[in-house]
């Protein structure tokens, strides 16, 4: 599971060949002991949870980087190397 970005203690990852579980483009975010999956298309939390402030940061990051995330998603479902994406600053 490659890490594609890290910011404010949040680690963003995308699994290879992960289009079966949620059936739509998504990322995985971890913060301390919390983990959640978020839709790339609309930032909706698909499962899991994390503190509300951290959740909003992830959703804002998705909004800013949606095009790059979709490009990485296409690479991931084909088992190809992913590109890192800039963190929130």
Domain boundaries, the chain: 3-77
How many CB atoms lie under 10 A from the CB of residue 30?
18
From CA 84, how far away is CA 46, in angstroms rounded? 22
Residues 20-26 have a mean pLDDT of 76
Chain mean pLDDT for the chain: 93
From CA 47, how far away is CA 35, in angstroms rounded? 9
From CA 28, how far away is CA 3, in angstroms rounded? 9
From CA 52, how far away is CA 56, in angstroms rounded? 6
What's the pLDDT score for residue 21?
62
Q: Which two tokens stand for residue 38?
A: 């978020």
Does pLDDT of 63 surpass 90?
A: yes
């Amino acid at each position: 599971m490659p890490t594609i970005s890290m910011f404010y203690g949040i680690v963003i990852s995308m699994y290879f060949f992960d289009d079966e579980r949620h059936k739509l483009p998504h990322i995985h975010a971890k913060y301390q002991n919390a983990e959640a999956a978020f839709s790339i298309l609309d930032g909706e939390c698909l499962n899991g949870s994390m503190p509300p402030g951290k959740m909003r940061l992830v959703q804002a990051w998705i909004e800013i980087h949606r095009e790059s995330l979709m490009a990485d998603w296409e690479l991931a479902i084909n088992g190809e190397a992913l590109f890192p994406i800039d963190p929130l600053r």
